[in-house]
Amino acid sequence: MVKQRVALRGHHLICLNFYQGEGYSSAFIKNLNRILKKLKKAEGLVIEGPDEVCSSCPHLKEAECCFQPNSNEVIEYLDKLALRLLNLKAGDAFIFKKIKSQLPRLIEEWERKACLDCNWRYVCLPLIGQLKKVKEVKS
């Protein structure tokens, strides 16, 4: 039987690395846990637009992110930024472990351009700080 690939949009390839069990609803959190479990065993597929994470999100309305008035534009910008930093495009396969290994290389630009206005930054910034320290020690 062919394993079904996890379909993710650009920014989720980076943001899921900082997931700490929080989310918009219990259904959303349950889905995130399922996705992350699946990503340990199966390869993923990069897609454009709403993905398997968005599918259980209460802010997805008519295939658009409606978290805030301009969210869809912001999310599309973040998707493009993430794919550029990861050198991936829609239709590419990915291994989540390999994405994780690229974070030290790209995290400073990602933090500067993506994290500072994000509502979830209180979850991620301490972890990003740790990642940057590891990078400093290695270099």
Region from 52-60, 86-94, 107-115, 125-133 binding ligand SF4, contact rule CB under 6 A: 52-60
| Cα gap 107→88, rounded to integer Å | 16
Task: Considering the complex, state which of residue 67 and residue 77 has its C-beta at the smaller distance from ligand SF4.
Answer: 67
Task: Considering the complex, state which of residue 119 and residue 139 has its C-beta at the smaller distance from ligand SF4.
Answer: 119
Q: Is residue 57 near ligand SF4 by the rule CB under 6 A?
A: yes
| Cα gap 91→7, rounded to integer Å | 9
CB 75 within 8 A of CB 120: no
- 76 contact partners, CB below 8 Å, separation of at least 6: none
Q: For ligand SF4, which residue of 75, 103, 107, 128 counts as binding (CB under 6 A)?
A: 75
Q: Is residue 120 near ligand SF4 by the rule CB under 6 A?
A: no
Positive or negative, the Cα torsion across 36, 100, 85, 20? Answer: positive
Task: Considering the complex, state which of residue 54 and residue 107 has its C-beta at the smaller distance from ligand SF4.
Answer: 54
Task: Considering the complex, state which of residue 70 and residue 130 has its C-beta at the smaller distance from ligand SF4.
Answer: 70
* CA distance to 27, 43, 64, 95, per residue, from 49 (Å): 20, 19, 8, 20
**Phi and psi torsions of 61, nearest 5°:** -130, 120
Q: Is residue 81 near ligand SF4 by the rule CB under 6 A?
A: no
Q: How far is the CB of 68 from ligand SF4 (least distance, A)?
A: 9
Q: Catalog residues that contact ligand SF4 under the rule CB under 6 A.
A: 53-54, 57, 59-60, 65, 67, 71, 75
